[in-house]
Structure 1
Amino acid sequence: MADTNPGNLDQAIGFHQKGRLKEAELIYRSILEKKPDHPEALHLLGLIAYQTGNIPEALELILAAIKHKKNESRYHYNLGFVLEASGSQKEALSSYWAALQLEPENTKTISRMQHLGQNDPHLWLSLGNHFFRIEKHEKAILNYQKALELNNDFVPAHINLAAMAERLGQGEDLILSHYEKAIELMPDSIEANFNLALFLENSGKVDSALKIYEKVLKLDPDQAAANYCVSNIRLLKGDFENGFKTYEWRTRMADWVKNYPAFIFEKKQWTGEQFYGKTLLIHDEQGYGDTLMFVRYIPLVKKLGGKIVFVSRKPLFNLLKHMPGIDVLMERSNDPMDYPGFDFYVFLLSLPKIFNTRLETIPADIPYITADPNIRIELKNKIETPCVFKAGLVWAGQPKHRNDRNRSIPLEQFKPLLEMKDIGFVGLQKGERSGDVNHLILKDSFLNIGEACLDFSDTGSVILNLDLVITIDTSVAHLAGAMGKEVWVLLPFNNDWRWLENTDQSPWYPTMTLFRQTRPGDWESVIKDIKEKLLKRFR
C-alpha cells in the first residue's frame, strides 16, 4: 500500500511517471488534506484528472494551482493543453500566452501555439512580435513571413517585417516593398506612413520623409512622434524658428515623459519670464552630450531671475559645479523629498526656443565649460608619449542609442591614423567598446585610458593636455567643443540635426570640424580625408 505521508511528494511523482495513477492520486489527495493550497499537488492531481478523462475536474484543480502560484509556466501550459482538449481553443491560447510570458523561449509552448493557430495570421504576427520583444530577430522574421503566407494582404505583417528588416540592415528595396505594399492596401495607415517616413529620414532622404510626415499630420495633427520628427528635419535644415517650436512635441511622447518624475509637472512651466526672488528648476534630458551642449544657456537664464537648481547626473558634477548660473547642483531622483522647493521648472532643451535661437544667435561664447588642467598623476603618466603632437580618439557611443549602428566605427578602421609616426594617439573610449583595443594589432602600442577616467572632469583634464580630439558623434565631441579644444567629428550619412547639412563647420562649436560620410557606411573615405588633413599639418 502507498505511503501517504504528506511530505512524500517525490514518491507520488515517481508513481505518476510510472503510470501508477491510483497510488499517485492517493498521495496527492493526502497532501491536500493537510495543505489544501499546495500548488504542486493541485497541479499534478489535475493532470491525473485529465489523464483519466475528467476534464472539468482537471480544469478546476489546475486553476486552483495557478491561484496559489501564478508564476509557474508549467501550470499555465498544462491548463492550455487541457483547455485545448476540451475544445476551448481561444482560452487555451490565452493560457499558452501566459506560459510564454514566464518562459519566453519555451519551444514546447511555442509549438502548441503554432499548431493551434496554424491558419491564423494574427497568431503568427503576435508570435513575431513576441520574438521581436525578446530580441530573437530571425525568429520574428520567420513568423511575420508565415503570417504573410497565410494572407499576403495582412498590413500589420508587412509593416513589422519592414521594420524588422530595417533593424537588421537588410536591403532597402525589401524594406520599401513592404512599407509600400502596406500603404497600397491601407493608404491612411498612420503606422505604415510614419514608419516609412522614419526609414527615409534614417536613410538621409529627409525631403521625401518630410512629405510623408506631413501626410501623417494631416491624418492626425496631434501625432507627437511625427511632429517631433518634423522638428528634427527643420532643425537639420537650419530652420531654428520653426524647428525649436515643434521640438516641444518631444515632451508629449510617452517614452520621453516616463523618464522624468511626475511631480515636477505639477509646477508651472517656465517660459522665459523674469523670476527674481523665486527658484527655477532646470532638468537635464536625453544624453550627456545634450547636457554638455545646452548648459551654455544657463548663464542667460540666470540674468532673468533668482535661484537656479540644475538637476543632472553624477558623472557631470565635478565638471559643472563651478558653472556660472548654477546655484544648486543636484542628482536626478524620483523622490520628491530629495528636491529643494522650487516655483517653476523647465527642461534644458526647451531653452533654445525660449531664447528665440537662430543660427546667427547661437550662444557660442567658447569655452563655457572648463576642466582642471592639473591632470591626475595616474592619467598623466598614461598619456606620456615621445610624440610632440597628441590626439584623443573615441570610436564608439552608447550601444542603446537609436543611431549607434550608423555612428559607431570599428576601431580597426582607424589603423591608417593610429600608424602615423608623428602623432601619439590616446584612447578616450569608455563602455563595452573600450575592449576593442584588445583585438587591435599595431606596430606600436595604442593605449586607451577612457576607463581610467572616473568622470567627465577627468576626461576634460585629459583633453586639456591634448592637441586634438578625433571622435564620432558622442558626448566627448560636445565636451571638447564646449572647452574650445580643436575637435574633429566623424558623422554618419544620416547625421543628427545639430550638425546641419552640407557644412564642415558647426555654429555651436567654433573649434569643431565635421567630416561627413558621402554615402551610408563608408568610413574608409572619411578616415582617408582625416589622414590627409593631418599629413598637411606636418608637412
Structure 2
Amino acid sequence: MQPAFVPPDVSLDAGELDESCFDQSLNYTTFHVAGLVPGLSYALTVGLESDGNMVALSTRTFAVGSVLLPGVDGRLSVADALEAGAQLHNARDRAAASRVYRYVLDIFPDHPQAQHLLGLALYQDGEPRQALHYLQRAVQANQTEENFHNALGICLKSLGRADEAIRHYRRALELNPMLAQASINLGDAMQSQGKWEEALKEYSKVARTPMHLLERHTEVEKAEHLAKDATGRMCELIRVTDGWYHADRCLNEALERWPDEAVFHNDRGNLLANAGQFETALDEYQRSADLGLLIGKVLKASKPAAVGHSIANSFFCYYCYS
C-alpha cells in the first residue's frame, strides 16, 4: 500500500505504515494497518494467485479523514480532533468543545460520535430541544452504541417524553447490561411514572452489584459514585414506599459500607429529625459536618426543634439530585 495523494500541508515524517496480516471470513477480507497519516489518500493493490499464477489484480484508493482546527498546527485525525474536543468538554469549556464538534460535522456531517458529543454539550448547556436533533442522528447512525441510547433517553425524559426515554434506556441495557448509569436513569423514569417496584429494582441492581464488577465497566472513582448514587435513590424510595423505619435500615446498611460518607450521615439526620428523634439527628449532622458537608454544619448549628421544623415532611437525598 502506497500514498496516492499527499496534500501540500502534510508531512510524511509522521511514521511508516504497519501492515499486518488480514482476517478472512467467507467472502470478506479485513486488513489491519497502523500509521495512516490524516489527510493522505492511499492506494491498496490486492492480487489473487492460483497455482503460482496471478489471475486477478485490484486497486482501490481511500482517503484518511482529517480536520484542520484553528490554532492547531497540522491536520488531526477525526479521532484526535474529537479527543481534543472531549478534553475541553471535560474541563467544562463546552463552548470551545462544541466548536470542535461542529468543525468535524462540517466535514463529516454524519459522524455519529461528533453528533453524540455535540448533543451532550447542548443538553448540558440547557438546550435539550437542539440537543435532541443531534442525539437522535447519532442513534440513527449507530444503533449498537449503548451510550448513544442512554444519552438520548436522558434528553427525551427532560422533554417530558418518558415512555420514549424508557425504550432507549432498555435498549442501552440490552446492549450492555452493566451500564449502571442507564439502570439508574431507567429507575428515575419509572419513578416519574409511579412505577415504584420497577424503579426500586433498577436502583437495587446497581446498589448491590459488587464493586469489582462495576469497576470492570467504568472508572474506579465513577463506579463508587454510581453505587452511592443508586443507594441514595434506593433508600429514598424505600422511605416513600415503606416508611422511615425501613429507610433507616437502608441508610444504616449504606453507612456500614461507607462509614465516612457525609451525605448518608446527613440523609439519616434528616430522616431521624422527621421522626422526632432530634438528638440522634444532631449526632448525624455533627458527623456529616466533621466529614466536611456544609449542610451538616448549618443544621448542627440549629436548635433541635428548629431542625425538625425546617425539614418537616422533607427528606433530602444528595445523591438523588447530584
TM-score, normalised with respect to structure 1: 0.35
* SS at 1:216 equivalent: helix
Contact 1:319 1:456 in 2 (8 A): no
Q: Deviations over 1:69-106 (max 9, x none)?
A: xxxxxxxxxxxxxxx9881269xxx9xxxxxxxxxxxx
Return the alpha-carbon distance in structure 2 between the equivalents of residues 202 and 208 of structure 1: 11
Contact 1:315 1:456 in 2 (8 A): no
What is the match of residue 297 of structure 2? Answer: 454
Contact 2:299 2:307 in 1 (8 A): no
Contact 2:200 2:237 in 1 (8 A): no
Structure 2 counterpart of 1:117, from 66, 72, 75: 75
Return the alpha-carbon distance in structure 1 between the equivalents of residues 96 and 181 of structure 2: 28
Report the residue type matching 1:458 in the other structure. Answer: A
Structure 2 counterpart of 1:188, from 133, 144, 161: 144
Q: Structure 1 residue 290: deviation in Å?
A: 5.4
1:297 aligns with 2:297: no
Q: Structure 1 residue 236: deviation in Å?
A: 2.8
Q: Deviations over 1:217-242 (max 9, x none)?
A: 33344433323322222233332223
Report the residue type matching 1:194 in the other structure. Answer: N
What is the match of residue 177 of structure 1? Answer: 133
Change (3 A) 1:166 1:87: same
* SS at 2:13 equivalent: coil
Contact 1:227 1:246 in 2 (8 A): yes
Return the alpha-carbon distance in structure 2 between the equivalents of residues 151 and 136 of structure 1: 23
Q: Structure 1 residue 297: deviation in Å?
A: 2.2
1:481 aligns with 2:289: no
Higher-Rg member (1/2): 1
Return the alpha-carbon distance in structure 1 between the equivalents of residues 104 and 166 of structure 2: 31
Contact 1:366 1:482 in 2 (8 A): no
What is the match of residue 100 of structure 2? Answer: 143
Return the alpha-carbon distance in structure 1 between the equivalents of residues 303 and 159 of structure 2: 34
Return the alpha-carbon distance in structure 1 between the equivalents of residues 114 and 308 of structure 2: 54
Runs of at least 5 residues in structure 2 that lack an aligned partner in the other structure: 1-9, 17-34, 36-68, 283-292
Question: Paired residues, what number?
Answer: 227
* SS at 1:204 equivalent: coil
What is the match of residue 224 of structure 2? Answer: 258
Contact 2:273 2:307 in 1 (8 A): no
Contact 2:132 2:156 in 1 (8 A): no
Return the alpha-carbon distance in structure 2 between the equivalents of residues 233 and 297 of structure 1: 23
Q: Deviations over 1:201-253 (max 9, x none)?
A: 23332122112222333334443332332222223333222321222232345
Return the alpha-carbon distance in structure 2 between the equivalents of residues 174 and 291 of structure 1: 33
Contact 1:128 1:139 in 2 (8 A): yes
* SS at 2:313 equivalent: helix
Summarize the alignment of residues 422-441 of structure 1 with structure 2, pairs less than 5 Å apart.
none
Summarize the alignment of residues 375-386 of structure 1 with structure 2, pairs less than 5 Å apart.
none
Runs of at least 5 residues in structure 1 that lack an aligned partner in the other structure: 1-83, 95-109, 262-283, 302-307, 324-363, 376-429, 432-449, 470-476, 484-488, 490-495, 498-539
Summarize the alignment of residues 38-437 of structure 1 with structure 2, pairs less than 5 Å apart.
87-88=13-14, 114-118=72-76, 120-170=77-127, 172-251=128-207, 252=209, 253=214, 254=218, 257-259=223-225, 286=232, 296-297=245-246, 311=259, 313=261, 367-371=274-278
Change (3 A) 1:369 1:140: farther
Return the alpha-carbon distance in structure 1 between the equivalents of residues 148 and 94 of structure 2: 20
Return the alpha-carbon distance in structure 1 between the equivalents of residues 226 and 105 of structure 2: 40
Report the residue type matching 1:183 in the other structure. Answer: V
Return the alpha-carbon distance in structure 1 between the equivalents of residues 148 and 236 of structure 2: 30
Return the alpha-carbon distance in structure 2 between the equivalents of residues 211 and 318 of structure 1: 35
* SS at 2:73 equivalent: helix
Return the alpha-carbon distance in structure 2 between the equivalents of residues 465 and 249 of structure 1: 33
What is the match of residue 20 of structure 2? Answer: none
Change (3 A) 1:204 1:458: farther
Q: Structure 1 residue 482: deviation in Å?
A: 6.2
Return the alpha-carbon distance in structure 1 between the equivalents of residues 147 and 263 of structure 2: 38
Return the alpha-carbon distance in structure 2 between the equivalents of residues 130 and 122 of structure 1: 12
* SS at 2:172 equivalent: helix
Q: Structure 1 residue 159: deviation in Å?
A: 0.2
Contact 2:101 2:114 in 1 (8 A): yes
Flag the structure with higher helix content. Answer: 2
Change (3 A) 1:460 1:179: farther
Return the alpha-carbon distance in structure 2 between the equivalents of residues 249 and 320 of structure 1: 22
- RMSD across aligned C-alpha pairs, in angstroms? 4.7
* SS at 1:147 equivalent: helix
Contact 2:191 2:199 in 1 (8 A): yes
Percent identity of equivalent pairs: 12
TM-score, normalised with respect to structure 2: 0.54
Change (3 A) 1:368 1:144: same
